[in-house]
Structure formats: C-alpha cells, structure tokens
Amino acid sequence: MRLYEKGVIMSINGIWELKKIALRNLARHKVKTLLTCAAIMVSVAVYIFINSWLGGMAIESRRNIVNYEIGAAKLQTKLYFEKKDEMPSYENFTDWKVYRAALNREGYVSAPRYTFAGTLFSASGSAPIMFYAVEPSAEEEVLRYVPYVDFGRYVQNGNFEIALGTIAAEKLKVGIPTRPYRLELEDLIASAAQNRADEDFIRSLYDVAPSAGGFLAMEEKITEGNERMILKRNVPQTGLDRYWELIIASGRNEVRINAVIDIKAVPEMIRGDKWEGELMSALRVEDRPLVEAAYEYADFGAYLLIEEDEGQLALVLDAMIRAGYSGAVRHVNQLLDAVVVGVINSPDPLPNGNTAYIPLDVLQDEAGMMLEGAVTELIIREKNVPDARLPGKSESSAAITAALERGLAAQGLPLPEELAVHTWMEYMEDYLGYEALQNGAPQVVAIMLLFLSFLGISNTILLAILERTREIGMMRALGMTDKQMIITYMLEAGFLGFFGSVLGIILGCIINYPMVKYGMDISAIADVMGGSSLGFRTTSNFRSVWNVEVIIGSGIAATLLSSFMAIFPTRRAVKMPITNSLRFE
C-alpha cells in the first residue's frame, strides 16, 4: 500500500505511518518536547487542584448553611418570604407547636424561631445584631452550632440571657478576650479580679502575641507597654470556667437590647393624602372595594374605620400588607436587659458574627416583646440525616409540604393558605450566585494558564516547521499531500498534549490527595482576617473533592486542543511552493 497516494482516502495503515513520523519528530527534538510537555503538565495539574479545592470549599459551605444556619427548609408565611430581605417580623404565625408535631409524625425535626434586628449595648460600646429567639432544645436538635460555645454555655429557657457570636463579643468587649492589648487586659483585671490571686491567675492565661508577618499581617500601631496579648491555647477547661465566672461577677457581660416590635393592625384613621397617594394607588384592583367599604370619609379630610367584623378586618389588613402600606404596621421600641452567658465560635461564619441567640419563652409577654406565642419561622430537617449529606428529594419543598399536610390531616386540620415551605436554596439564591463567581474567577485564571500552554504548543510547532521547511518540501515532492502534512503535525501536537496531560493528571492527583484525605484548616487565617470566611461559608477545616469528570475531561481537552493548535502554522507552511521549500535556508 502506498503512503502518499493522491485522491485516495487515507487508510488506517496510512495514519499509522503518519503517527510513526510524528513520534520520530518528537524524539528528534527532546528538549522542546520535554519543555512543552512540562508546561502542559503544570497547567493541567494546577487546573485539577484549583477545581478540586474550590469544589471542596463550595460543598463545605453548603453543608454549613444547612447544618449551622437554616436547615433544609423553612416554614413561613408567604408574605414573609416575599419580603424576607426586610425581615417583616409582623408576618408571623402562632400554631407552630401543631405544625411541629405534624412534621415530627412524618419523620422531620423542626425548631421555632422569631427573627428580629436590633442594637446591643454593652459598657464598652454597641453593635447592630441579628437576634434569633429560639427554643434551645429544638434548636440543638436541628442545627449543629449549639455545641460550639467557646466560653460559657448556650442559653436556657426562663432567663433573659444571650449566646453571642465571637465577632460581636470582641466588638462589645464582653466575655473572655482572646487577643486584648496589655492595657485592656489590665483594665479587665482591675474590674474582674477580687484579690491578688485572681490577678495573677488572669495574667497567667496570656502570652505576648507573636508579631504577624507575611501577606496576612494586619497594620496596627503598638506602643511600648501596650503589646498585643493572646490567650494561651492550652488553658484547661477548669481555668476557663473560673475566668468566666469572674467576668460574669464583674458585670462585664451585662448588655441591653434595643429592638423594635412590628405590630400589624388596621389603622383607625387614614389621612386623605395618604389614602390617595400611598394606599389606593398601591392596592390591587380587586382589593380596593374591600378597603373602601371598611372606611368612611369624614368632613375633616380623613377616612375613619367603620368595619367591625373581625373576618373582614383580617382581609382588609392582608390587603394593606400586600400593598406595602406602612400605616398598617406600628413600630414599638423595646428595651431589654440581658446577660451574655456564652460566646459561639462554630465552623460557620454566620453564628460567629453579629448574631445573638435568646430564649423564645422570655419574649412572650410585656416583659419581653409581646410575642404571645408567635414565631416567624420553623426551620426543618429530616430526622437522623447525616450532616455530610445535602438535602435531597425527601427534603424538597414539595416533599415537606406533603408531609406537613399529611400530619395535619391526621389531626383533622388543614395547612393554612398563608403558610408555605421554601428550601434553603431558595433562601440562599444570592449567595449561590456569589459562590459561582467565587468559583469561576480562579478557574478562569487556570484556564488562561492552560491556554498559554497551548500557545506554546503552537509556537513549538511553528518553530519545528520553520526548521524542517526543506524536509517538508522533500516529503511533498515525494508525493505527501497537504492534508497528510497537516495530519502529521496535528498528531505530533496531539502527542505533546496527551503526554503532558497524562503527567498533569498524575501530578494533579498527587498534590490533591493530601487535601482530599486530610483537608486544610483555615481557622488561623480567618482569625487573622477578623473572622473573614474568604468569601465562603466556612472558617475551619475543609477538604477538596475528587471531580472525575474534570480530571478526565481536562486530559481529553488538553489533547484535542493541542492537536488543533497545530492546524494554523501547518496550513501556513504547506502554502509555500515546493520549489521555495527546497531552497529554504
């Protein structure tokens, strides 16, 4: 069989011969071959490592959101979900115990919460705080942050006490300071120590903090005699408990909550300008007759409430709330005194931030926030589900809603129309979009690195063609077609990509193995960066993940792209007349 026969479709044997030529060319230029393969190897290995690292961060973040923040889903009013960014605490419901029992019957655990925002004041300052009023035992059953109390304990029913995130505790200077300045520590000793023994005991718990260096160093002015101190890591629990009791006795942990209670009610009177400008223009067309029938215009330019039927008033109120009419919500300021009994430092940044947990039962009457049994949400999770498993079909909105309806039906009750179940992904849409950007940016860099390697292949093939111009001319003179020449150099570049990607996959798996097996603890980095989670929802240990599709796909892509990168320089070479090729120097 002739190898360079024109006009005949190339046989398998012909391609085999071209492959031999391509491999001989690679063997003749060992240095260029090794350098190009090394570039591809590094690019593929880096891409595999970055993809696995980001994949591990994303999965760990999602697990933390479910396990430490909101569970698999929430039961809330539909209007609350629509306005969730505003946290409309007036959108609440009271029969949560009935719904909790129904869910428990169908294999789900749930925990009630009343969520509100406020300001927390201490003797040293103030901070905006997100408050969660919780049922402690139910909270611990559904979420996993409760055991992560660094100092003190978690809240208990019946007391005005809060568990505070570690970042908020540092801002407000409550609890045990972990990195105080020396003068701050001396002030604390002066207020907390009851005798000389207590003073010596507290000083013995600290060392001078080592000076930070490298790219994580934080700029701070340190004067002589006011060095940064750090709490020793090997302090026994008995020592921490004794220190905590001294701090509690000193009053350092006493705080005041300033919150606003939102109460929705049909207004007794609406001014004429607000009636036309704010209310009627915002109401749905079908709701306007309902509201108009409930009021009567008075001679002094206002509308007075005349409706007395409770059912109709409830419909009027719902119509006003849907329209976003501010006059249907009254804001009542409330001040509450409490004591910080614990500081939370979990693997998830949310409970560690400007977050506080307070017992739900103490907020029910006028001494609290006049909740009268109301909660804003039930957080839900399937019973006995492994923490490592992300919610699946059994924890979807449809599955939980169906289970809740079955559980209520067993009690002869329907599910109210105003309530709805929404999954964690619906609540975290903004974060998931941000996560995609976080994942995309480093991968783009890795892909650019891979692309530069392919440009190197194209350059290598171009130089090889220039060096072998006379040889190419001789082969074409002997009958080798332009198509066969292009295929030969495509095979040569393809082999470069193949060998480089195989080595890259091996190297990528080797450097990725420790991250998959043992993971990486970023808690020290998070501490230096003030509790920052590096854009993800994790501040502790995480592991990379094996992504077989990416590992295999990167090898295939590198081989194919390498091969195609040879087309353009080869086509340029075969356009040169054979006579010019033979005379090329």
Contacts (Cβ under 8 Å, ≥6 apart) of 50? 442, 443, 445, 446
Identity at 412, one-letter amino acid code: G
Task: List, in sequence order, every residue forming a beta bridge with 220; answer none if it has no partner.
Answer: none
- Distance from C-alpha of 333 to C-alpha of 356, rounded to nearest angstrom: 19
What was the pLDDT predicted at 136?
96
- Distance from C-alpha of 253 to C-alpha of 171, rounded to nearest angstrom: 13
Domain boundaries, the chain: 12-65+431-582, 73-260+333-423, 266-331
What was the pLDDT predicted at 220?
52
What was the pLDDT predicted at 195?
92
What was the pLDDT predicted at 215?
45
Between the alpha carbon of residue 203 and those of residues 187, 189, 239, 511, the distances in Å are: 12, 8, 12, 44
CB 218 within 8 A of CB 531: no
What was the pLDDT predicted at 515?
87
- Distance from C-alpha of 146 to C-alpha of 142, rounded to nearest angstrom: 10
Q: Which stretches in the chain have pLDDT values below 70?
A: 1-17, 29, 211-224, 434-447, 449-450, 452-458, 460-462, 464, 521-535, 540, 581-585
Task: List, in sequence order, every residue forming a beta bridge with 206; answer none if it has no partner.
Answer: 231
One DSSP character per residue, 311-347 reads: HHHHHHHHHHHHHT-GGGEEEEEEEEEEEEEEEE--S
User: Strand ranges (DSSP E) for 37-86?
Assistant: 73-77
- Among residues 369, 377, 372, 371, the alpha carbon closest in space to that of 332 is found at 369
What was the pLDDT predicted at 198?
92
